[in-house]
Structure 1
């Protein structure tokens, strides 16, 4: 029986492409998290505060980005800006690996349909949403732990990931590790789809620019990918932000003792109740608390995340690992 070596090599190449994309996603996620964790800490502190984020409100602990940086630095030292970093790194690596590997696998499975160029943006939206849902399920417990580490002030209820996991399961059951999953999934489907969809759209626009098509330089491609990722992150985050805020509020339910020095406590019993209480107590603008640092973080993280992934992935492809 004759074996077609070309078909075997092509099949192996496609399988390696999925693996390499997953590894590139994990590495890019870890590097991005390390660089932008301080913005995540500020964003989360804003999201958990019931009082208005306003310079005019003296009763608010945090009243703006620079004031928050000063307060956190003074009360908790500079290391506080990397609170929850270990769990966040596991989250980023696991999330990035699953997301990009799933995205490439889905693209490979439907290659036989040979979709026309005009439909690739919608294809990216659908695949991105599906990949994000799987990545969210796989990494969500570390998201809960990360949020609780950030929510802590000087008093440290949790000191290690293992201790946090054990205490959450002991006090709240295994379901405690998935608190806030519903708004996260509602958010993740359009967010993941928008990320990949907008990124595909903007990168295609970049490749059509005269300068890009004439030179094809790697620097121009990487720079264009950074801009595409930046715009994709801004668009995706703005569309889905209220669900991100609800997720954070729900993740700290049952963990409010450490929040006594941060102002008014927020108690809710589910997603609908969370939304109603936010609207009643904080008005519609309350759903967008922390949007400023979130947009900066999201835009930077998406641009760095995708650009690093593409760069690492190209290195793998060139060396034929």
Structure 2
């Protein structure tokens, strides 16, 4: 049940945050392997990107890739939050005194992040490619055309094999290990600190809300370079579409830094934060409330 609760929390939050994920993906592919002065920005800011996408591709384009995004949210969070909750319940994240143990919390949150990355990577590849596809006037990065989620899965399998579904998996696992450790460690620690000061002791919802809002800041800062790398690797496609731009995570990081500088590694940090913060808050609040409800029902 813990895994189902985690999955529902992630899928539910995705509905609200997917438009910002579309914007983030476009920003991270814009000016790929070019210096800032060598390309014309099709998207000049978050609100400009929302406007341009809606004007050229229609309002529904802001929810591009929603189906694989929800599949991704369910799969990733069912494994990540479910596995972490089991570790919490079993006391594997606490010291002998029953307090939060930072090292143990980081280990279990990172381990759950890596496992969720492996499980959800196929959905991540499909989501990214569908979100990147745009009208030629605003297209950035390589363009892949699919007639929906199932067509994308079938086409990728036929043209790239099983390997195609695991493009960028190393970057994904690194991103999720770092991001999950930052998110769940700060979430658990923030809850404990808030409770120690008597804040929101009578409001589980308020406690989960404030703790998750704090953790969202750390997550965005920690994962952005890995997030940019993962998106680039997801979207480059097979070699048959042209020379591979990147030969793995480190090659991708090196090329981005060499050609685009530190700015390139933090492309899309704005929409990433605006996606991560509410998604973190919504998913962790939903997760915490469902767990509380499930625990109460078990006791009764």
Q: Same fold (TM over 0.5)?
A: yes
1:58 is displaced (CA, Å) by 8.0
Residue aligning to 2:131: 150
Residue aligning to 2:269: 291
Deviations, residues 138-169 of structure 1 (Å, cap 9, x unaligned) = 11100100000001114871112221112112
Q: Secondary structure at the match of 1:283?
A: helix
- Relative to structure 1, the CA distance from residue 191 to residue 113 in structure 2 (aligned partners, 3 Å threshold; closer, same or farther) is closer
Structure 1 alignment gaps of length 5 or more: 1-18, 259-264
Alignment of 1:82 onto 2:67: no
1:204 is displaced (CA, Å) by 0.8
- Relative to structure 1, the CA distance from residue 112 to residue 283 in structure 2 (aligned partners, 3 Å threshold; closer, same or farther) is closer
- Relative to structure 1, the CA distance from residue 311 to residue 108 in structure 2 (aligned partners, 3 Å threshold; closer, same or farther) is closer
Which 4+ runs in 1 deviate beyond 4 A? 51-54, 108-114, 255-258
Query: What is the count of residue pairs matched by the alignment?
Result: 290
1:111 is displaced (CA, Å) by 5.2
Larger deviation, residues 66-75 vs 184-193: 184-193
2-side partners of 1:313 and 1:210: how far apart?
Answer: 22
Residue aligning to 1:115: 96
**After the TM superposition, which residues 1-321 of structure 1 pair with which residues of structure 2 at under 5 Å, given as runs?**
19=1, 21-50=2-31, 59-108=40-89, 115-154=96-135, 157-212=145-200, 216-218=201-203, 221-254=204-237, 267-320=245-298
> Does the Cα contact within 8 Å between 2:94 and 2:101 map onto a contact in 1?
no
1:119 is displaced (CA, Å) by 4.4
Q: Secondary structure at the match of 1:158?
A: coil
> Does the Cα contact within 8 Å between 1:26 and 1:95 map onto a contact in 2?
yes
CA RMSD of aligned residues (A): 2.7
Deviations, residues 238-293 of structure 1 (Å, cap 9, x unaligned) = 012101100000111127999xxxxxx99222222212221222112110000011
> Does the Cα contact within 8 Å between 2:199 and 2:207 map onto a contact in 1?
no
> Does the Cα contact within 8 Å between 2:94 and 2:105 map onto a contact in 1?
no
1:109 is displaced (CA, Å) by 5.0
2-side partners of 1:108 and 1:204: how far apart?
Answer: 16
What is the TM-score normalised by the length of structure 1?
A: 0.82
> Does the Cα contact within 8 Å between 1:122 and 1:197 map onto a contact in 2?
no
Q: Secondary structure at the match of 2:246?
A: coil
1:313 is displaced (CA, Å) by 1.6
Structure 2 alignment gaps of length 5 or more: 137-143
Larger radius of gyration: 1
2-side partners of 1:112 and 1:224: how far apart?
Answer: 19
2-side partners of 1:194 and 1:210: how far apart?
Answer: 24
- Relative to structure 1, the CA distance from residue 148 to residue 256 in structure 2 (aligned partners, 3 Å threshold; closer, same or farther) is farther
